[in-house]
Amino acid sequence: MGTVDSLKSETRSSSVLLPENSNSRQSFSRKSRILHSAKIYCLSVGKRFILYVVVAACFILAFISLNSKLSFETYDYSKAEFNWKYDPRSKGLVPYDNKLDDYNILLDAHSHTTSSDGRLSPKQLVDLAISNGYNAIIVSDHNTISGGLKAEKYAKEAHPNDIIVIPAMEYS
């Protein structure tokens, strides 16, 4: 019988914390469930945010390290030489229109020199074109025609029968 009396006293002491009616008990447990769910949601959002920050930091560090190690400006193109000769016709290059019997023009229709954003001088560009089997090129530097004129002058002097240079300008 001592246990029954102790249960009654525990019930009375807990009724101090929670009112006796059932509606307030349900609302308290509902509020605690909502708060618990909100707490779990906030923790999961926080974990995701930290994960995104860590991944973004890794990408930024990788980009910075690769960008500092891979510098494409380190090669000095002014010393490049093109001392080979390639004939694309010997490798089976044929015209698109099969009605043509023979063709005689291989044209690079868009090239730049160091006069704008190219990496080769006008002389090097002409030598490269000849080495790769072209017999005509259009040198179209950005907002200037000087690179094309220099290439044309060099081609006429050094390779009069090998290549035709057409100076042009690309407006940008």
pLDDT at 68: 67
pLDDT at 36: 85
Write the DSSP symbol of residue 89: G
Report, as an integer, the average pLDDT of 129-155: 94
Residue 88 in any domain: the answer is yes
Both 7 and 25 in a single domain? yes
Q: Which residues are CB-neighbours of 83 under 8 A, at least 6 positions away?
A: 131
Residue 162: domain span: 79-170
Both 28 and 56 in a single domain? yes
Q: Which of 144, 114, 116, 117 is nearest to 126 (CA)?
A: 114
pLDDT category at 55 given cuts 50, 70, 90 is very high
Whether the predicted pLDDT of 101 surpasses 60:
yes
Please state, rounded to an integer, the average pLDDT across all residues of the chain: 81
pLDDT at 13: 47
Whether the predicted pLDDT of 14 surpasses 50:
no
Environment class of residue 130 by beta-carbon count within 10 Å: exposed (0-12), middle (13-18) or buried (19+)? Answer: buried
Question: Which of 35, 69, 103 is where one domain is finished?
Answer: 69
Q: Which long-range contacts (CB under 8 A, 24 or more apart) does 43-51 make?
A: none
pLDDT at 73: 59
Question: Residue 127: how many CB atoms within 10 A of its CB?
Answer: 21
pLDDT category at 54 given cuts 50, 70, 90 is very high
Give the DSSP letter string of 32-79. Answer: HHHHHHHHHHHHHHHHHHHHHHHHHHHHHHHHHHHHHH--GGGS-GGG
pLDDT at 124: 94
Number of domains in the chain: 2
Report, as an integer, the average pLDDT of 45-62: 92
Question: Which of 45, 69, 93 is where one domain is finished?
Answer: 69
pLDDT category at 32 given cuts 50, 70, 90 is confident
Whether the predicted pLDDT of 125 surpasses 80:
yes
Whether residue 124 contacts residue 82, with contact meaning beta carbons closer than 8 Å, is answered with yes
Q: What are the tokens at 133?
A: 């089997």
